[in-house]
């Protein structure tokens, strides 16, 4: 047991709450929709392991909170497959712009996952991760209540909160103690059985684009995934969704009807600024439009000043100040321009490549003709849940579709530094060791996908970045896409930030 109440010891304790691997047993916990909906039939019993919502209400009570206390946080609750984080970040930025103009809301909480470079990214207030001191203080306040009280000691580890369950409880405690006036919660990866669904009375709920992901827990079909995501709908709480496929929309509408929820699909807002950098990827126009609908509904219900919607200036300022690390992010260093986007499924990998192609479109050479920019792609993906080869094929298809035929490929692992050093605050869970050699196979697999393409394997993210930097030094003006797993993007982001800090200090 860690006796000193330090940030480092808090993280050490938190890491003990990670389970070793995904459960393999099937929980017969997912009921089917009524047969009258004609959406799908048969028991939806593919959920593996104990649902994450199990125990949350009891633990919430043990740390001193009721449903009324949680409702007082004024929560916007967001689920989906792709775009949850961006939608939440847009909502935060829009609310902050409105608060700066009118005074409400004047303190905004944001809970998201995963983090890329620091665990505190998951719990933010007014767009900034909480401090190490606050994280440590609030961590031990609830750790002591859950694990150290004599009447709460248990030898059954399964009856104590796991990593994500604890983080959701910590967020609720932090936001309550800090007095947030508006709070945005992103689900982890589900909905119905997600730990964040302990939120019983959100102000409004939103569903971003739904695709085939986390099928071991939520599948096997996309209708099953949609059923789970719509589990955040609450009777009497309005719900909105980004445009979905017909099959997904039908499930969402059926679940909304079942729960007596006012539901609407949000189309892309035609009044959005045309040339805002944050909206260059089309998918961000979709996410921003959903965020505007969520915020306007929130304001109409909760604003003590007036019930007006966001002003045009609020929207422009919110979009201008929007940022979401590792998602459609551009970083410039002396020799390279880096385009970072965590894209760990086939839908998102196509969006990442489309954005990269648009942002690096041909310039003009000295004779006035088009000049193909020099482009390189750094990729890594290691997961027991997702098929790396399918994602690699999707990457090849996306590059071909966007006429990027000359990009060199660099494949790497999740190891950040060449010496194997691991940051103490790195919290993304390492993949199964049995998959450690998978990245070494990617160059050969890539040759079968694009026989004429050039590719290389390097054992660390640091070496991948150095390879790109040296290539740019030799040939000039290299545009680099870093995509695939959030492990890769988070590691690259950390190393690039450290490089910029070292340059500034020097």
Question: What whole-number distance in Å separates Cα of residue 107 and Cα of residue 441?
Answer: 48
- Is there a binding annotation on residue 341? yes
Single residue among 320, 350, 381 that ends a domain in this structure:
320
Question: What whole-number distance in Å separates Cα of residue 347 and Cα of residue 343?
Answer: 8
Indicate whether 2 belongs to any domain: no
Is there a single domain that holds both residue 135 and residue 222? yes
Helix (H) or strand (E) holding 464: helix 461-475
Tell me the pLDDT tens digit for each residue of 36-61.
333 443 334 355 567 899 999 999 99
Q: DSSP letters along 124-168, please?
A: EETTEEPPHHHHHHHHHHHHIIIII-GGG--S-GGGS--HHHHHH
Is there a single domain that holds both residue 100 and residue 232? yes
Give me the pLDDT at residue 39, please. 41
Q: Which residue has the higher pLDDT, 140 or 499?
A: 140
Q: DSSP letters along 331-357, please?
A: EE-SSEEEEEEE--SHHHHHHHHHHHH
Kindly tell me if the per-residue pLDDT of 427 is higher than 80. Answer: no
Give me the pLDDT at residue 129, please. 97
**Angle formed by the axes of helices 132-143 and 163-178, nearest 10°:** 110
Confidence category of residue 155, pLDDT binned at 50, 70, 90: very low
Is there a single domain that holds both residue 265 and residue 388? no
Tokens 């849940």, located at residue: 385
Is there a single domain that holds both residue 271 and residue 398? no
Q: What is the mean pLDDT of the chain?
A: 88
Is there a single domain that holds both residue 193 and residue 286? yes
- Is there a binding annotation on residue 214? yes
Tell me the pLDDT tens digit for each residue of 277-326.
999 999 999 999 999 999 999 999 999 877 789 999 999 999 999 999 99
The CATH number covering residue 216 comes to 3.40.1190.10
Q: Please, are residues 191 and 231 in contact by the beta-carbon 8 Å criterion?
A: yes
Give me the pLDDT at residue 40, please. 42
**Mean pLDDT value of segment 449-457:** 89
Question: What whole-number distance in Å separates Cα of residue 42 and Cα of residue 449?
Answer: 39
Share of the chain above pLDDT 90, in %: 70
**Mean pLDDT value of segment 138-156:** 77
Share of the chain above pLDDT 70, in %: 86
**Domain total for the chain?**
2
Question: What whole-number distance in Å separates Cα of residue 50 and Cα of residue 217?
Answer: 10
Q: How many CB atoms lie within 10 A of CB 120?
A: 18
Is there a single domain that holds both residue 178 and residue 117? yes
Give me the pLDDT at residue 1, please. 52
- Determine whether 403 is exposed, middle or buried from the number of CB atoms within 10 Å of its CB (0-12, 13-18, 19+): exposed
Confidence category of residue 71, pLDDT binned at 50, 70, 90: very high
Is there a single domain that holds both residue 395 and residue 283? no
Kindly tell me if the per-residue pLDDT of 370 is higher than 90. Answer: no
Question: Which residues form the domain of 379?
Answer: 329-505
Give me the pLDDT at residue 33, please. 37
Most confident range (mean pLDDT) of 32-46, 78-92, 144-158, 491-505 is 78-92
Indicate whether 430 belongs to any domain: yes
Q: Rounded to the nearest 5°, which phi and psi values hold at 373?
A: -70, 150
DSSP state of 247: H
Give me the pLDDT at residue 86, please. 96
Indicate whether 486 belongs to any domain: yes
Single residue among 320, 349, 376 that ends a domain in this structure:
320
Sheet holding 374-380, edge to edge: 329-332, 336-342, 478-484, 374-380, 408-411, 455-457
DSSP state of 186: E
CA-to-CA dists, residue 387 to 22, 74, 350, 381, 493, angstroms: 16, 39, 16, 9, 24
pTM recorded for the entire structure: 0.90
Is there a single domain that holds both residue 91 and residue 173? yes
Indicate whether 221 belongs to any domain: yes
Is there a single domain that holds both residue 339 and residue 477? yes
User: Would you call 301 helix, strand, or coil by DSSP?
Assistant: helix
Is there a single domain that holds both residue 305 and residue 414? no
Tokens 């192609």, located at residue: 357
The CATH number covering residue 406 comes to 3.90.190.20
Single residue among 320, 350, 374 that ends a domain in this structure:
320
- Is there a binding annotation on residue 400? no
User: Would you call 111 helix, strand, or coil by DSSP?
Assistant: strand
Is there a single domain that holds both residue 85 and residue 120? yes
DSSP state of 484: E
Kindly tell me if the per-residue pLDDT of 135 is higher than 80. Answer: yes
Q: Please, are residues 261 and 231 in contact by the beta-carbon 8 Å criterion?
A: no
Tell me the pLDDT tens digit for each residue of 75-133.
999 999 989 999 999 999 999 999 999 999 999 999 999 999 999 999 999 999 999 99
Indicate whether 1 belongs to any domain: no
Tell me the pLDDT tens digit for each residue of 384-421.
766 778 889 999 999 999 999 778 999 999 999 999 88
Angle at 268 between CA 33 and CA 187, to 5 degrees: 45
Give me the pLDDT at residue 500, please. 76
- Is there a binding annotation on residue 327? yes
Is there a single domain that holds both residue 458 and residue 310? no
Confidence category of residue 166, pLDDT binned at 50, 70, 90: very high
């Amino acid at each position: 047991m860690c006796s000193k109440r330090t940030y480092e010891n808090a993280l050490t304790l938190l890491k003990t709450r990670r389970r070793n691997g995904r459960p393999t047993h099937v929980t017969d916990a997912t009921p089917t929709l009524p047969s009258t909906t004609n959406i799908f039939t048969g028991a939806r019993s593919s959920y593996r392991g104990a649902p994450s919502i199990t125990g949350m209400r009891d633990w919430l009570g043990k740390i001193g909170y009721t449903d009324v206390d949680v409702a007082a946080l004024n929560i916007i609750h967001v689920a989906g497959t792709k775009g949850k984080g961006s939608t939440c970040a847009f909502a935060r930025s829009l609310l902050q712009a409105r608060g700066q103009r009118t005074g409400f809301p004047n303190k905004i909480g944001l809970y998201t996952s995963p983090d890329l470079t620091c665990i505190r990214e998951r719990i933010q207030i007014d767009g900034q991760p909480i401090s190490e001191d606050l994280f440590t203080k609030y961590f031990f306040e609830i750790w002591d209540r859950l694990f150290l009280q004599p009447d709460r000691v248990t030898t059954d580890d399964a009856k104590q909160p796991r990593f994500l369950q604890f983080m959701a409880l910590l967020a609720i405690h932090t936001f309550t103690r800090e007095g947030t006036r508006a709070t945005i919660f992103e689900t982890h990866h589900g909905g119905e059985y997600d730990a964040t669904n302990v939120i019983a009375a959100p102000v409004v709920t939103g569903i971003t684009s739904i695709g085939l992901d986390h099928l071991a827990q939520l599948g096997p079909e996309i209708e099953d995934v949609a059923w789970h995501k719509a589990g955040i709908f609450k009777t009497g709480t309005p719900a909105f969704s980004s445009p979905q496929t017909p099959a997904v929309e039908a499930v969402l509408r059926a679940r909304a009807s079942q729960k007596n929820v006012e539901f609407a699909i949000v189309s892309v807002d035609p009044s959005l600024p045309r040339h805002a950098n944050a909206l260059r990827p089309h998918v961000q126009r979709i996410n921003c439009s959903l965020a505007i609908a969520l915020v306007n509904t929130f304001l109409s219900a909760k604003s003590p000043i007036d019930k007006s919607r966001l002003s045009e200036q609020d929207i422009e300022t919110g979009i201008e100040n929007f940022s979401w690390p590792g998602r459609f992010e551009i970083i410039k260093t002396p020799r390279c321009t880096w385009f970072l986007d965590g894209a760990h499924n086939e839908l998102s990998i196509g969006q990442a490549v489309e954005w990269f192609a648009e942002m690096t479109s041909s310039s003009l050479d000295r004779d006035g003709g088009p000049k193909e920019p020099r482009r390189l792609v750094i990729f890594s993906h290691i997961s027991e849940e997702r098929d790396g080869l399918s994602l690699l094929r999707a990457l090849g298809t996306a590059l071909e579709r966007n006429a990027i035929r000359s990009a060199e490929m660099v494949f790497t692992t999740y190891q950040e530094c060449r010496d194997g050093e691991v940051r103490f605050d790195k919290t993304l869970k390492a993949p199964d060791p049995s998959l450690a050699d998978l990245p070494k196979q990617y160059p050969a697999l890539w040759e079968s996908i694009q026989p004429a393409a050039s590719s290389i394997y390097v054992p660390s993210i640091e070496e991948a970045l150095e390879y790109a930097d040296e290539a740019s030094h030799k040939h000039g003006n290299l545009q680099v896409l870093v995509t695939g797993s959030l492990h890769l993007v988070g590691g690259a982001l950390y190393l690039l930030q450290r490089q910029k800090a070292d340059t500034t200090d020097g």
